[in-house]
Amino acid sequence: MSIKSVVLICGGGNGAHCLAGLASLKSNIESRVLTLYSDEAERWTAKLESGLLITVRNDDGSESLIQTKPSMVTNVPKKAASGAHYIFIVVPAFAHTNYLDAINPYMGKNTVIVGLPGQAGFEFECVDLLGNKAKHCTIVTFESLPWACRLIEFGKNVEILGIKDTLGASVLKDSTVHPPIMYGKWSQWNGKPLSEKPLFYQGIDERQAELLSGVSDECLATAKAIKKKVPGVDMSDVIHVFDWYLKHYSSHITNKSNLMMVMRTNKAYDGLVHPMKAVEPGKYVPDFTNRYIREDVSMGIVPIKGIAELAGISTPYLDEVITWCQGKLNKEFLVGNKLTGKDLKDTRAPQKYGYNKLEDLFTGNYSI
């Protein structure tokens, strides 16, 4: 008799559908879904029997159809988490805490918890919420989803638009692209509604590319400082955002001459537009409440700024982007160029968890 691994996927969105569907294809995996959001569990369960279709758009323009069926979809944490060997949290980062709190009582020792993606500070949040139990678990955080994917019909059909060639798991991430792109695009906006939604990645200009590159250089400088201060730490996954695109999306990109062109010609980004809201039919303004700012600042670039601060690296690009974003969020994280704002408690900066020295991040010593 073969022993099945129980894989729990937390979430009910695009990524959760893909992972639940793909995991179910393996005969040695029992794939369960826990969704706590609204009536998603009920709606998905109603469609479960007829199965889930994954439509994969291949690079050559053809499509592959994968018919699959997760074992269970539920909103009951006990039913979902009991006996799970691997737990993938596949929701926007603001919902991580909900799921970790819900499954914590039912998780066994030696569980592997995966943030897919984790967003910066996922490990700190897990250790903080799971307490002693975290010591007996493996916590993994991925920098992104392995796919660009979209739901076609909830519970029924999900589409994979592009598959990344590789995916890194690291503490310092380069997937910090959303806030600099938002800042670069909208900081000079005249406030007038637009008649169409601008392309997000494929519409970037030289200024946005410079911001992305600047932030990326600051991440690299931080990684270098960490390596110097904490010998033996492997920072090789921290690479420049340009190299990241070449590594992860190589087969999707037609012009590899510079960062701007790499993003403008990445086929996996076809049709992806800025988060906008309609103010009247056919008239759009940017949606600054979208997670590209709300989530990717407090759980993205602010934790990275926090690590850079502990490493003694100055970060003018990050500071410029955070300063504009915190204004849009009506929050105060940064005061001048220091993370001493009154709303730091709403972020995953290491300082919030009591890490005050760089070395403490690696030894686990912290004091609040």
**CA nearest neighbour of 170 among 101, 99, 222:** 222
Q: Report the C-alpha gap between 192 and 189 in whole angstroms.
A: 8
**Beta strand 276-280 with 283-286: parallel, antiparallel or unpaired?**
antiparallel
Contact 87, 20 (CB under 8 A): no
Report the alpha-carbon distance of residue 247 to residue 279 in Å, rounded: 39
How far is residue 138's CA from residue 188's CA, in Å, rounded to a whole number?
A: 44
Residues whose CB falls within 8 Å of the CB of residue 66, separated by 6 or more in sequence, listed in order:
21, 22, 25, 53, 54, 55, 56
The radius of gyration of the chain's CA atoms, rounded to the nearest angstrom, is: 21
Q: Closer to ligand NAI by CB, 271 or 364: give it.
A: 271
| Residue number, 12 or 341, with CB nearest to ligand NAI | 12
Q: Are 212 and 174 in contact (CB under 8 A)?
A: no
Q: Does 96 participate in catalysis according to the annotation?
A: no
> Is 126 in contact with 100 (CB distance < 8 Å)?
yes
Residue 356: CB minimum distance to ligand NAI, A: 29
Distances (CA, A) of 162 to 92, 253, 301: 19, 11, 25
Q: How far apart are CA 78 and CA 103, in angstroms?
A: 7
Residue 336 CB, nearest distance to ligand NAI (Å)? 30
**Closer residue to ligand NAI in complex, CB, 216/341:** 216
The DSSP symbol for 4 reads P
- Least CB distance from residue 160 to ligand NAI, whole Å? 9
User: Of 17, 85, 96, 178, which one is the catalytic site residue?
Assistant: 178
Q: Which is nearer to ligand NAI, 141 or 213 (CB)?
A: 141
DSSP helix/strand/coil, 35 = coil
Nearer to ligand NAI, 156 or 283 (CB): 156
Closest distance of CB 17 from ligand NAI, Å: 8
Q: How far is the CB of 57 from ligand NAI (least distance, A)?
A: 12
Give the residue among 184, 189, 144 at the shortest CA–CA distance from 317.
Answer: 184
Q: Give the strands of the sheet with 112-115, arranged side by side.
A: 72-74, 29-34, 5-10, 86-89, 112-115, 138-141
- Residue with the shortest CB distance to ligand NAI: 13
* Residue 36 vs 239, nearer CB to ligand NAI: 36
Point out which residues bind ligand NAI (CB under 6 A): 11-16, 35-37, 40, 90-93, 95, 98, 117, 144-145, 148-149
Catalytic positions are: 178
